[in-house]
Structure 1
Amino acid sequence: MTQSRRMLVLRAVVEDYIRSQEPVGSTSLTKAHDLGVSSATVRNDMAALEDEGYLIQPHTSAGRIPTEKGYRYFVDRLATVMPLSPAQRSGIATFLSGSVSLQDTLQRAARLLSQITGQVAVVASPALSKATLRHVEIVPVGASVLLAVVITDTGRVAQHTLAVRPMPAADDLSRFCDVVNQQCSGLSFAAAVDRLHAITADPAWRAASSVGESLAAAFSTMADDERANEMYVAGASKLAHQRTPADLAPLFDALEEQVVIMRLMSTLSEEPGPDGVGVAIGSETHTPGLMHASVVTSGYGRTATADAETTGSNADEPGKTGDARTAVTDAANADSTGLAEPLAFVGSIGPTHMDYAATIAAVRAVARYLTASLAADGGPIGD
Structure 2
Amino acid sequence: MTQSRRMLVLRAVVEDYIRSQEPVGSTTLARDHDLGVSSATIRNDMAALEDEGYLIQPHTSAGRVPTEKGYRYFVDRLATVVPLSEAQRRGINSFLSGSASLEDTLQRAARLLAQITGQVAVVASPSLAKSTLRHVEIVPVSMTTLLAVVITDTGRVAQHLLVIGSLPETATLSAFSSAVNAQCGALPLSKAADAVRAMAADPRWRAIAPLVDALARAFDAMADDERTSELYMAGTSRLAHQRTVADLAPLFDALEEQVVLMKLMSSLSEEAQADGVSVAIGSETHTPGLMHASVVTSGYGHTGAARPSGESGADAGPAAQAGGDPVAFVGSIGPTHMDYANTMAAVRAVARYLTSFLAHDEDGPRS
Q: TM-score, normalised by structure 1?
A: 0.90
Which secondary structure state, in structure 1, belongs to the residue aligned with residue 142 of structure 2? Answer: coil
Is contact 1:268-1:278 (8 Å) kept? yes
**2:20 aligned with 1:23, yes or no?**
no
Partner in structure 1 of residue 32 of structure 2? 32
Q: Distance in 1 between matches of 2:257 and 2:275?
A: 28
C-alpha spacing 1:208/1:97, structure 2 compared with 1 (3 Å): farther
Which secondary structure state, in structure 1, belongs to the residue aligned with residue 248 of structure 2? Answer: helix
Pairing of 1:53-132 with structure 2 (within 5 A): 53-132=53-132
| Aligned-residue identity in percent | 71
Is contact 2:310-2:356 (8 Å) kept? no
**Relative to structure 2, which stretch is displaced further, 198-207 or 291-300?**
198-207
Q: Distance in 2 between matches of 1:182 and 1:334?
A: 38
Q: Distance in 1 between matches of 2:326 and 2:228?
A: 12
Partner in structure 2 of residue 347 of structure 1? 331
Partner in structure 2 of residue 316 of structure 1? none
Pairing of 1:169-188 with structure 2 (within 5 A): 169-188=169-188
Q: 1:336 aligns with which of 311, 317, 337?
A: 317
Is contact 1:184-1:195 (8 Å) kept? yes
Is contact 1:128-1:227 (8 Å) kept? no
Q: Distance in 2 between matches of 1:212 and 1:358?
A: 51
Partner in structure 2 of residue 205 of structure 1? 205
Q: Deviation at 1:380?
A: 9.8
Q: Distance in 1 between matches of 2:57 and 2:163?
A: 69
Which secondary structure state, in structure 2, belongs to the residue aligned with residue 376 of structure 1? Answer: helix
**Relative to structure 2, which stretch is displaced further, 30-39 or 335-344?**
335-344
Structure showing greater relative contact order (alpha-carbon pairs closer than 8 Å, 6 or more residues apart): 1
Which secondary structure state, in structure 1, belongs to the residue aligned with residue 361 of structure 2? Answer: coil
Is contact 1:58-1:65 (8 Å) kept? yes
Is contact 1:105-1:380 (8 Å) kept? no
Letter in 1 for 2:62: A
Partner in structure 2 of residue 277 of structure 1? 277
- Deviation string for 1:335-381 (max 9, x for gaps)? 33224112221111100100001111111111121112112233996
Which secondary structure state, in structure 2, belongs to the residue aligned with residue 347 of structure 1? Answer: strand
Partner in structure 2 of residue 267 of structure 1? 267
Q: Distance in 2 between matches of 1:100 and 1:9?
A: 49
Q: Distance in 1 between matches of 2:238 and 2:317?
A: 30
**Relative to structure 2, which stretch is displaced further, 213-222 or 164-173?**
164-173
Partner in structure 1 of residue 165 of structure 2? 165
Q: Which runs of 5+ in 2 are unaligned?
A: none
**2:334 aligned with 1:358, yes or no?**
no
- Deviation string for 1:278-315 (max 9, x for gaps)? 111111112221111111111122166546x3243xxx
C-alpha spacing 1:305/1:195, structure 2 compared with 1 (3 Å): closer
Q: Distance in 1 between matches of 2:317 and 2:125?
A: 22
Q: Distance in 2 between matches of 1:192 and 1:79?
A: 43
How many residue pairs are counted as aligned between the two chains?
364
Q: Distance in 2 between matches of 1:166 and 1:62?
A: 79
Partner in structure 2 of residue 326 of structure 1? none
Partner in structure 1 of residue 12 of structure 2? 12
Which secondary structure state, in structure 1, belongs to the residue aligned with residue 62 of structure 2? Answer: coil
Pairing of 1:245-256 with structure 2 (within 5 A): 245-256=245-256
C-alpha spacing 1:311/1:122, structure 2 compared with 1 (3 Å): closer
Letter in 2 for 1:195: A
Q: Distance in 2 between matches of 1:51 and 1:178?
A: 70
C-alpha spacing 1:162/1:212, structure 2 compared with 1 (3 Å): same
Which secondary structure state, in structure 2, belongs to the residue aligned with residue 239 of structure 1? Answer: helix
Q: Deviation at 1:101?
A: 2.1
Q: Deviation at 1:256?
A: 1.3
Q: Distance in 2 between matches of 1:335 and 1:160?
A: 38
Q: Distance in 2 between matches of 1:213 and 1:286?
A: 41
Partner in structure 1 of residue 309 of structure 2? 310
Q: Deviation at 1:92?
A: 1.4
Q: TM-score, normalised by structure 2?
A: 0.93
Is contact 2:138-2:149 (8 Å) kept? yes
Letter in 2 for 1:144: T
Is contact 1:100-1:380 (8 Å) kept? no
**2:351 aligned with 1:370, yes or no?**
no
Which secondary structure state, in structure 2, belongs to the residue aligned with residue 227 of structure 1? Answer: helix
Which secondary structure state, in structure 2, belongs to the residue aligned with residue 36 of structure 1? Answer: coil
Is contact 2:303-2:327 (8 Å) kept? no
Q: Distance in 1 between matches of 2:116 and 2:4?
A: 33
**2:153 aligned with 1:153, yes or no?**
yes
Which secondary structure state, in structure 2, belongs to the residue aligned with residue 232 of structure 1? Answer: strand
Q: Deviation at 1:100?
A: 2.0
Which secondary structure state, in structure 2, belongs to the residue aligned with residue 160 of structure 1? Answer: strand
Q: Which runs of 5+ in 1 are unaligned?
A: 313-329
- Deviation string for 1:245-302 (max 9, x for gaps)? 2211221111112122122212211212342211111111122211111111111221
